[in-house]
Structure 1
Amino acid sequence: MNRTGPDWNLYRTFLALLDEGSLSGAARALGLTQPTVGRHLDALEAAIGRRLFLRSPHGLVPTETAAAIRAEAEGLAASAAALWRSASAEAGAIAGRVRIATSEVMAVEVLPPILAAIRRRHPGLDLEIVASSRVEDLLRREADVAVRMVAPRQEGLVARRLGQVGLGLFAHRDHLAREGTPTSYAELAAATVIGFDRQTAVIRALAVRMPELTRIDFALRSDSDLVQLAAIRAGYGIGACQVAIAARDPALVRVLPDLFAPSLDCWLVIHENLRGTPRVRAVFDGLAEGLAGHVDR
């Protein structure tokens, strides 16, 4: 193994190969030629001293070595991106790039007007949004600020609890007119219910408080909150939604409000080393101000 360590660009190509599964796909993603990507792969394998991919009729198959170093390579990528964001503005200026991690539904349904207000106030800011149900790792600087519905458990993070976000079961009024409105969990179990496929941290927290939900056979499953919300709006069935979001649509009717009325804490999280960074602090404060109108204090 080369003890001086491979060039960072080789790891960048390695991650693209993992994501795309082929030399041609990685080349398109990186804006490189296919021979260049091939040379990068050969150089990285030579430096490490092990094969990273096996060729198959369906593309490149990662080896155990590739799987073992993926997390470290992703950490390098996150650090490189964080370095670029830190270098994107002059010291003390409220300008440059800030990366925000939040859920899909918050990114689409709640944050856009808040982010627009922040940008009007600080036109030198460029914002990046990571819209995913996966909890971004702020310690590894995968994001600068996060809006979360679960309390952070990692040391080194500074969190502010903004309040609670109420949840409810909702359905389009046309759906309820066709199939009827459940009045109990037993009737809900026999209804057309929209739900999740895999359990997330938020769903596990709800399941502890409301185990009845785990016994429902969903008629539509998706891990995307946006897909579930779109299905509710389209009249597919009954599903969970933030009360404040559902209140915007007069066609949505709340179901079992006395039985299903949980709430989730809304947290704003930042790495402790970024508290004094003006551009990050401006986004943090702007999010806190904007979300105050969405949460229940």
Structure 2
Amino acid sequence: MRNPDWNLIRTFLTVAECGSLLAAASRLRLTQPAIGRHINQLEADLELSLFVRGRSGMKLTEAGLSLAEDATAMRGEFDRLLLKAAGRGDRVSGTVRITASRVVSIYILPPILARLKAAEPEIEVELVPDNAVANLLARDADIAVRMVRPTQNDLIAQKIADIPMGTFAHRSYLETRGTPQTIDDLSEHLVIGYDREDRMLAAMHQMGLDADRSFFAFRTDDEVAAWELVKAGAGIGFAQLHIGTRTADIVRILPDLAIPTLPLWLAAHQELNTSRRIRRAMDFLAGELRKLPLST
């Protein structure tokens, strides 16, 4: 048995995850014959049969299943080594332009970006608060924090989390108007909702509440303005759980209400593969966003 090349092990893991040579070739940006040669070489080096080839794709053998777990652990250690090496290598410099919704830009990103700047003082950050989906392919931004899954093929994207939502009101509002105990009680209260957007009404219908636009005493499509109305004691509103629970004098109500979650995605142009500053900023954002207390 010969010691295999790491690139062969990486190919082995990718084929195991993708289930076919063609899909693995697409992910690794190699040709299908090259992927096949890698697998054949690795099997020869290890003197083991790792896959059963069939019309339905590549299925791991018992030996392949056993090795895949250890190989995954090896890849994790290798990725950590690369990240540590990048942090100790030449300093990263240049501008990184980040776009996110106004809510994320105002209530979530500022402390994260402050820590990014402290860790990488030569990175210049441009923050673009915008609810519109930025065109990363046209380079309107380098990195986007999105609440929808990116669909362009030339983007690199990763899902960070599903963000839980909650129902909130200011303490002064509840002292004056009382606290609703059921979703039906909301009809007796001042509720803050969207103006032209229909996502909130759709969610309410999904939760079993028959409501139309007139259900909302205050209407705005600006989520920051809506949250400020809640903070001012104007009425009951909805917000990301980790924002609402950390705001002074704001009380969470109807905790058992099954509000649909919001997906949180990070996306960047493919230049992420060649730009150290964008890669560093992307990895930093991903790590920090994953630390958000999403379950409290």
What's the TM-score bracket when you normalise by the shorter of the two chains?
A: 0.5 to 0.7
Count of residue correspondences: 205
Q: How far, CA to CA, are the matches of 1:163 and 1:257 in structure 2?
A: 20
Q: How far, CA to CA, are the matches of 1:211 and 1:185 in structure 2?
A: 9
Question: Does the C-alpha gap of structure 1 residues 187 and 204 become closer, same or farther in structure 2, counting only changes over 3 Å?
Answer: closer
Alignment correspondent of 1:174? 172
What TM-score comes out, normalization by structure 1 length?
0.63
Question: Is 1:277 matched up with 2:275?
Answer: yes
Q: How far, CA to CA, are the matches of 1:205 and 1:124 in structure 2?
A: 45
Q: How far 1:229 moved relative to its partner? A: 1.1
Give SS of 2:117's match: helix
Q: How far, CA to CA, are the matches of 1:155 and 1:207 in structure 2?
A: 33
Q: Structure 1: any 5+ residue segments left out of the alignment?
A: 1-91
Give SS of 2:107's match: helix
Q: How far, CA to CA, are the matches of 2:185 and 2:204 in structure 1?
A: 19
Question: Is 1:141 matched up with 2:139?
Answer: yes
1:192 and 1:238 in contact (8 A); partners too: yes
Q: Which runs of 4+ in 1 moved over 6 A?
A: none
Residues 44-193 of structure 1 aligned to structure 2 (within 5 Å): 94-193=92-191
Q: How far, CA to CA, are the matches of 1:295 and 1:133 in structure 2?
A: 23
Q: Structure 2: any 5+ residue segments left out of the alignment?
A: 1-89
Q: CA RMSD in A?
A: 2.3
**What are the Cα deviations for residues 131-170 of structure 1, in whole angstroms up to 9, with x where unaligned?**
0111111122111101111111222111111112111110
Q: How far, CA to CA, are the matches of 2:227 and 2:262 in structure 1?
A: 17
Q: Which has the larger radius of gyration?
A: 2
Q: How far, CA to CA, are the matches of 2:291 and 2:210 in structure 1?
A: 29
Q: How far, CA to CA, are the matches of 1:189 and 1:208 in structure 2?
A: 14
Q: How far, CA to CA, are the matches of 2:210 and 2:250 in structure 1?
A: 21
Question: In the alignment, which of 220, 223, 240 is matched to residue 222 of structure 1?
Answer: 220
**What are the Cα deviations for residues 154-204 of structure 1, in whole angstroms up to 9, with x where unaligned?**
22111111112111110011101111122233221231011111227x658
1:160 and 1:267 in contact (8 A); partners too: yes
**What are the Cα deviations for residues 216-257 of structure 1, in whole angstroms up to 9, with x where unaligned?**
621111111111111111111000011111111241111221
1:98 and 1:125 in contact (8 A); partners too: yes
**What are the Cα deviations for residues 250-284 of structure 1, in whole angstroms up to 9, with x where unaligned?**
41111221124332111111112333211111110
2:168 and 2:230 in contact (8 A); partners too: yes
Question: Does the C-alpha gap of structure 1 residues 204 and 100 become closer, same or farther in structure 2, counting only changes over 3 Å?
Answer: farther
